[in-house]
Amino acid sequence: MLAGTWRFLTYFGRDTMIAMLLMKDRLSNEALEAGIGAVLERENGTGVICHEETIGDYATLTNLLNNITSSAPSYSYIMIDSDLYLQPLLVEYFLNTPGALNRTIPFLRYLRFLSQLTISTIASVNPANAGVSYAELAFRNAFHVMSIAAPFAAEGNQTEDNLIHLREGQIVGQWRDSTYGIGGAMIPYDVNTALVPASLRAIAQLTDAGFYPSYSNWSALANQYAQVWEDETLHFFEVTVPQAEAQQRVETYVQESNFTGPAGNVTEDILFYGLGLNGYNNQSIVLVMNSDDCLFPGILYLTIRFPSFPFDEYYKSNSINDLHEPNRQSSQC
């Protein structure tokens, strides 16, 4: 899967995983495995997911600029949200896709023998992963997620400092991938309130299914961590605009924009969650109302946290019903 045409046309980790999550009911198992394999192959040695692969002539040019005569690809690891999509994707494929559970043998090469795992699928794309199995790469990412989630989850450690920050020196780190995308925030809302707990819930499910036998305690521990993140992160991003102030803002906007329709009445305080913390212009919270609660981070969060969500009823009641496969149980997770 490639993204970013016409300008880029290369691998993007987050785009690949989101595309598979959104299209999993339409893609073949072979296509899903190709996408998962692409993500695993380009992971780095500590379980961080590759954001972008530089290939072709552009790879040759960037190498020359670094005094290297080579067309070998290079890999970027600047995004923090990409790290959190892999485990939910593994759940959606291996545990929730018909016929996929048996594919752990031919794809990940998990072979059980006296409670031990013999693993033989080997990565070959990124030279840094040469000789490393797909199963080991999946485990490295799970270990990375557990490690970054642990400080905030520890008793008494629910502080802003222990939330997930952008990588040092970066001004981007999630899907709003631009200079002003999250208003300069160093601590993104979607990453901390939705993606971290979703990834943790997925790790617990995979551990229950036998994917990480060396850390069988993750079945309980990952769920424990997730509960803390779910319960204790939202308040950091909460914004309340008192009713009178909200009404004044609406009236001011109507006047300044020369809007000819009615201004409407604000009847209660307005509550929303800011894009992130510590933004430009000394904003402690980036005061921008946003769609994160109902776009894909929210959908991913619902899928992992609320397995009883009536996805099938939703599909049947919407115009996309003709694209829905009746035999696919979308609420199996």
Sorted by where each begins, the domain ranges of the chain are 13-244+270-323
pLDDT of residue 100: 87
Looking at residue 221, its pLDDT comes to 98
Name the burial class of residue 7, with classes exposed (0-12), middle (13-18) and buried (19+) by CB atoms within 10 angstroms of its CB: exposed
pLDDT at 63: 93
pLDDT computed for residue 105 by the predictor: 66
Reading the block at residue 65, the tokens are 């600029």
Nearest to 214 by CA among 108, 127, 139: 139
**Residue 212 in tokens:** 């990480």
Q: How far apart are the C-alpha atoms of 100 and 33, rounded to whole Å?
A: 9
Share of the chain above pLDDT 70, in %: 83
pLDDT score, position 4: 67
* Highest mean pLDDT of the ranges 21-35, 95-109, 110-124, 157-171: 157-171
